[in-house]
Amino acid sequence: MDSREKEFAQLIKDNQGLIIKVSRLYTNSLEDEEDLFQEIVLQLWRSYDSFKGNSKISTWMYRVALNTAITLFRKKSKSLPTNELDINHKDFVEDDDEKQQQISLLYTVIKTLPNVERAIVMMYLDDLPYKDIAENLGITEVNARVKMNRLKKTLKEQMEKYA
């Protein structure tokens, strides 16, 4: 393995959490999640040389991951029913049942959002600054803030419906 490949492997290792989150939010099964993870890593490798360093590496990775997920989601949604929601929460700690139910409900509601809104919420939950969210989605920072405020209200209303 040359130094470039080692550097890339370390980059994936250091940022695998964001790839897993994107994979989990845009799939309905563990197999699809694993496939999407691999596809994202492949797309990151293919575009690794094009990263110019104008933004943080994590911002670039989010953009590639989201674009890959949305592209595959669109392809699959043409052939799969959109009302299937099978969320795998194997990675959550099972210490507080009510808290876990709330987390599960939140992810269920997030999965019903359109792609762009889902991406905004995901990045917000990852504590990305609005500037980075805007850059990833090609919108203004003000627009990202407005969308997130509206999404907070929508998520709250949807969660109250289910509760």
The answer to whether residues 80 and 38 touch, using CB atoms and an 8 Å cutoff, is no
Cα(163)–Cα(152) distance, rounded to whole angstroms? 16
Q: Where are the domains of the chain?
A: 1-82, 93-163
Give the position of tokens 């507080």: 96
The pLDDT of residue 82 is above 60: no
Residue-wise pLDDT for 8-41, tens only, equals 999 999 999 999 988 988 888 889 999 999 999 9
Report the distance separating Cα 29 and Cα 80, nearest Å.
12
Domain 1-82 has CATH 3.40.50.720: no
Distances (CA, A) of 60 to 16, 28, 63, 78, 99: 14, 25, 5, 28, 32
Distance (Å) of CA 37 to CA 25, 100, 121: 11, 24, 19
Closest CA to 120 of 159, 148, 161: 148
- If we measure between CA atoms, which residue out of 59, 73, 63, 61 comes closest to residue 113? 73
Is CATH 1.20.120 correct for 93-163?
Answer: no
Q: CA-to-CA distance for 156 and 154, rounded, in angstroms?
A: 5
pLDDT tens by residue, 55-79:
889 889 988 998 898 888 766 655 4
Q: How would you class 13 by CB atoms within 10 Å of its CB: exposed for 0-12, middle for 13-18, buried for 19 or more?
A: exposed
Per-residue pLDDT for 100 more than 60?
yes
C-alpha span between 21 and 32 (Å, rounded): 13
Q: Rounded to 5 degrees, what are φ and ψ at 61? A: -65, -40
Give residue 19's pLDDT. Answer: 93
Q: Among candidates 125, 111, 117, which has minimal Cα distance to 143?
A: 117
